[in-house]
């Protein structure tokens, strides 16, 4: 079965338009990969898969060091080798992951021994909207004045940066 049939292109102009579109699509993929490689380390990212393997080196030929089953876990990218990223996890363990397993989306994990408050406003006197247990992971943005806006499965609030891992300046 042909995917692209010669009868699909009834004129040379349609065929030329198709070829131009295909070339633009392929070149956009190359540009995207190059842009990822040019990002300066270190930087924050997150695991983008429900199962991700950390390896001892930058290739599938290296043994697996850890298997992460925690999507959106914040990690620190500390080195780049082609399509591989050397990462550091929240416990300080380091290893290599393929770039397709990672996302540039900033996340953070609640740390400490007690629940952290997510407030309506970025202020210690603001009303408590939610509480999150240590280990909870959420998407963060709008970090300033000691607070980050954190979204945990649609529950949004401002959290003190001292209560999260994933916001530290690097």
Model confidence over 21-70: pLDDT tens digits? 556 555 544 444 455 556 899 999 999 999 999 999 999 999 999 999 99
Give the tokens for residue 166.
Answer: 């994933």
| Average pLDDT score over residue span 68-95 | 96
Q: Which homologous superfamily does the CATH classification assign to the domain defined by 108-165?
A: SH3 Domains (2.30.30.40)
3-state secondary structure of 33: helix
| HSE-up of residue 2 (Cα within 13 Å, Cβ side) | 5
Q: Length of the chain, please?
A: 170
Q: Is 5 buried (19+), middle (13-18) or exposed (0-12) by CB count in 10 A?
A: exposed
Q: What is the pLDDT of residue 164?
A: 96
pLDDT at residue 152 is higher than 60? yes
Q: Which homologous superfamily does the CATH classification assign to the domain defined by 43-105?
A: SH3 Domains (2.30.30.40)
Q: What is the pLDDT of residue 44?
A: 94
Q: How far apart are CA 136 and CA 125, in angstroms?
A: 23
Which residues have CB under 8 Å from 57's CB, separation 6+?
96
pLDDT at residue 6 is higher than 50? no
For the chain, the structural domain boundaries read 7-37, 43-105, 108-165
Q: What is the pLDDT of residue 3?
A: 42
Which strand ranges, in their side-by-side order, compose the sheet holding 84-88?
A: 64-68, 52-55, 94-98, 84-88, 74-81, 43-47, 102-103
Q: What is the pLDDT of residue 39?
A: 80
pLDDT at residue 165 is higher than 80? yes
Q: What is the pLDDT of residue 125?
A: 96
């Amino acid at each position: 079965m042909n995917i692209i049939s010669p009868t699909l292109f009834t004129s040379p102009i349609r065929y030329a338009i198709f070829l131009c579109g295909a070339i633009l699509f392929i070149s956009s993929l190359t540009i995207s990969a190059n842009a990822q490689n040019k990002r300066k380390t270190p930087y924050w990212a997150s695991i983008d898969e429900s199962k991700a393997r950390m390896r001892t080196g930058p290739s599938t030929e290296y043994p697996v060091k850890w298997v992460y089953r925690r999507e959106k876990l914040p990690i620190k990218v500390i080195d780049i080798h082609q399509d591989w990223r050397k990462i550091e996890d929240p416990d300080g363990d380091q290893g290599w992951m393929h770039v397709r397993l990672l996302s540039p989306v900033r996340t953070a994990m609640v740390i400490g021994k007690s629940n952290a408050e997510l407030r309506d406003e970025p202020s210690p006197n603001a009303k408590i909207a939610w509480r999150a247990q240590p280990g909870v992971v959420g998407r963060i943005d709008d970090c300033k004045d000691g607070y980050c806006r954190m979204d945990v499965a649609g529950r949004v609030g401002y959290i003190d940066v001292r209560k999260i891992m994933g916001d530290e300046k690097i």
